Amino acid sequence: MENGHKTGNGVAAPACEVAKVPEEEIAAICARYGCDKHRMLDILREVQDRYRCIAPSTMDRIAAGTGLTRIEVEGVASFYSFLSLVPKGRVTIRLCDDIVDRYSGLDAVTAVFEEVLGIRTGETSADGAFSLETTPCIGMCDQAPAAMVNDVVLTRLTPETARSAAEALKAGQSPEQLVSERFASLTPHERALHMVGNNIRHAGEVLLGPVPEDAGLSNAVSMTPAQIITTVEESGLRGCGGAGYTTGRKWRFAASERAEKHFVICNADEGEPGTFKDRVLLTERPHLLVEGMTIAARAVGAREGILYLRGEYVYLRELLEQVLEERRRRGLLGEAILGVKGFDFDIRLQLGAGAYICGEEGALISSCEGLPGEPKTRPPFPVNRGYLGYPTVVNNVETFCHAARILDRGAKWFHAMGTEGSHGTKLFSICGDCLNPGIYELPYGHTVRELLEMVGAEDAAAVQVGGPSGTMIARDSFHRKLTFDDLATGGAIIVFNGARNILEIVEYYMSFFVHESCGYCTPCRVGNVFLQKAISKFRKGLANPEDIDYLKELSGTIIETSRCGLGMTSPNPILSTLKNFPLVYSAVSKPSKDGIRDTFDIQSAIDGARKIAKRRSYIFDKDFTQ
């Protein structure tokens, strides 16, 4: 992905050309969300879905409807990838442009879509029927290449299946019809499984084995909040999203904060490239997740919760809405849960709109509040002052599911699994160059080598543990263990064989971080662009040995001065490959001779002028007379 800095900042984007949206329709959409500015993301998503564009005049009306200024609305609308200030096609095809998809034949699939639809990637067809785009990892790496077609997901694309899909769309079929002719008669769960496979390769004892219905919640209602928190603390459960903060302690802090309201938020914004474990839990264990959230609500005294679902998982929306509705009907959500007076809790679903940064706790809260997904200043921490300023517990999908199981089976049961400091099981989403990509639920403590044997990847040459913000290790580190203290991961394990180009992978990951940086702080906004440019110099053979020090120094500044976890980890693809694959860099860098930089490419610098002047260079073309 190009960072497109120059063009992006160039001539102003053309104004939205679609017909003006009737004022009363915008007013009605705002009214549906209580004209609440904190529901801005919902409002904008709905406008985008309906009118395929958020035009300046529309922003004026939304601003009027919610009591904001237009620039505030524009700030939100221009932040999220799935919202657009220029008109998009009635059908928007978003090809997943992850490195794993690229290695699975994305190019051929893209070529077919471009050919059949008659537009290039990044374009919208003249008749407004189609837009073709790329998007970072959509969480389907075990069935790549994949694409979103409006709210529908297509997986395991081949040039053949891509052609038939594109032709069907062109012939007027709906995206849903691509999934199944009987789409309308399928249940939400069936629809999800028609689109996306679970690929559960190994079910463990905690999450993916047999799980009794609401056993944890039943226990929790007979316990005091303090007892619940103690149980979770004693289990040793740590956050499964990547950061690994002790869950019980987080709940304790939030519970001890005196406030009018408390909130529980589930982070289902699984965006780390190569991670797709929460997708499977949301599909197969949605009740367990909501049960866990409900238990957390009892523990911290929250009456309201939010399930923040990443925009890429919009195909799971109706499944989750149905689960919430069913639980309300069964008295498991709403007032007096399980008949316990005063135990009131309900959850609203908040959909994201294409922003990796929203997986960061503070950014996720900002997004829930209807703001651009920018991390918040710490302190105060969310447990003290989070959503709308109230104490808020934010946990990952898997963490809530674990908590529900701990309340069912007890802290000791969970604590006994795994290793010291890393208790219980963990879902690993494994993809890339292996025979059996998919989900593996395993206790902490397995070595990378053991994992690779399980997935059929004995020829692995490099493994990216924890996604791009994690660590890239080489064969000499395959003995290392998957624990919080050794190789920590939110679940992503991406396998690369010896034929893959490490620098290509690193360059892709840096372009990912450039795309996903929120831009709030200087080092992350600017520094990552510099890193990306430096890596591309290496790839072009235009780097010299001192550029290796430059990479290290610049990475150091970004890590040390960035405001949130994104910038504190974005140089990791570079730093971990410099450490574990040093030859990859030294082999392509060449020293300057006599202080003259080989990295300055005179031939490409004069090429344009040569063509315009229609003559060769006296100085730099030896055969200039020809």
Partner 1 sequence: MSELPKARIATASLAGCFGCHMAILDIDERLIDLMKLVDVDRSPLTDKKRFTQRCDIGIIEGGCCNEENVHVLHDFRRNCDVLIALGQCAIMGGLPAMRNAIMHSDAPLRECLDEAYITGKYIRNTTHHVPNDPALPLLLDEVYPCSQVVEIDYQIPGCAPSGDIIFDTLAKLLTGKFRGFERDMIKFD
Partner 2 sequence: MSGTKKETGFTFTIDGIEITATAGQTIMEAADEAGVYIPRLCDHEGLRHQGSCRVCTVKAGGRSVAACTQPAAPGQAVENETQHLTKMRRDLVEMLFHEGNHLCPICEASGNCELQAMAYRLDMTEATKFPYLEPCRALDASHPDIALDTNRCISCGRCIRASQDVDGKGIFGYVGRGIHRRVAVNGENLADTTAEVTDHAISAEVCPVGCIIRKRVGFAVPIGEREFDKGLIGHEIEEKRK
Task: Point out which residues bind partner 1 (CB under 8 A).
Answer: 10-11, 592, 594-597, 599-600, 602, 604-610, 612-615, 617-620
| Residue 594 CA: distances (Å) to CA of 15, 482, 549, 604 | 53, 48, 20, 21
Q: Which of 241, 312, 360, 276 is nearest to 100 (CA)?
A: 276
Contact predicate 321/381, CB 8 Å = no
Which of 208, 203, 182, 299 lies closest to 249, judged by CA? 299
277-284 and 286-300 helices cross at what angle (nearest 10)? 90
> Which of the 8 DSSP states describes residue 123?
-
Our CB check for partner 2 shows the closer of 133 and 284 to be 133
Tell me if 349 sits within 8 A of 309, measured CB to CB: yes
- Which of 182, 597 has the CB closer to partner 1? 597
Please tell me whether residue 261 binds partner 2 under the rule CB under 8 A: no
Build a one-symbol-per-residue string for 80-99: x at contacts with partner 2 by CB under 8 A, - elsewhere: x-------------------
Cβ neighbourhood burial of 60 (10 Å; 0-12, 13-18, 19+): middle
Radius of gyration of the chain (CA): 25
Judged by beta carbon distances under 5 to 8 A according to partner kind, the member of partner 1, partner 2, none in contact with residue 3 is partner 2
Tokens 């963990």 sit at which residue?
426
Q: Of residues 157, 554, 574, 578, which one binds partner 2 by CB under 8 A?
A: 554
Q: Please return the burial class of 408, using the count of CB atoms within 10 Å of its CB with bins 0-12, 13-18 and 19+.
A: buried
Q: Residue 132 binds which one of partner 2, partner 1, none, with CB within 5 to 8 A depending on kind?
A: none
- DSSP codes of every residue in 134-192: EES--S-GGG-S-EEETTEEE-S--HHHHHHHHHHHHTT--HHHHH-TTGGGS-HHHHH
Q: Which does 379 bind (CB under 5 to 8 A by kind): partner 1, partner 2, none?
A: partner 2
Q: Stretches 17-25, 304-312, 472-480, 529-537: which one binds partner 2 (CB under 8 A)?
A: 529-537
Instruction: Classify 359 as helix, strand or coil.
Output: helix
| 5 binds, options partner 2, partner 1, none, Cβ within 5 to 8 A by partner type | partner 2
Tokens of 380: 């105060």
Report if residue 562 touches partner 2, rule: CB under 8 A.
yes
For partner 2, give the closer residue by CB, 134 or 561: 561
Whichever of 187 and 592 has its CB closer to partner 1, that residue is 592
Minimum distance from CB of 354 to partner 2 (Å)? 10
Q: Which does 408 bind (CB under 5 to 8 A by kind): partner 2, partner 1, none?
A: none
Least distance to partner 1, CB of residue 609, Å: 4
Binding of residue 539 to partner 2 (CB under 8 A)? no
Contact 327, 290 (CB under 8 A): yes
Q: Which does 435 bind (CB under 5 to 8 A by kind): partner 1, partner 2, none?
A: none
Q: Which does 186 bind (CB under 5 to 8 A by kind): partner 1, partner 2, none?
A: none
Binding region for partner 2 (CB under 8 A) out of 201-209, 420-428, 525-533, 571-579? 525-533
- Name the site residues for partner 2 (rule: CB under 8 A): 3, 5-6, 8-12, 56, 69-72, 74-75, 78-80, 355, 372, 377, 379, 514-523, 525-527, 529-530, 533, 550, 553-554, 557, 560-563
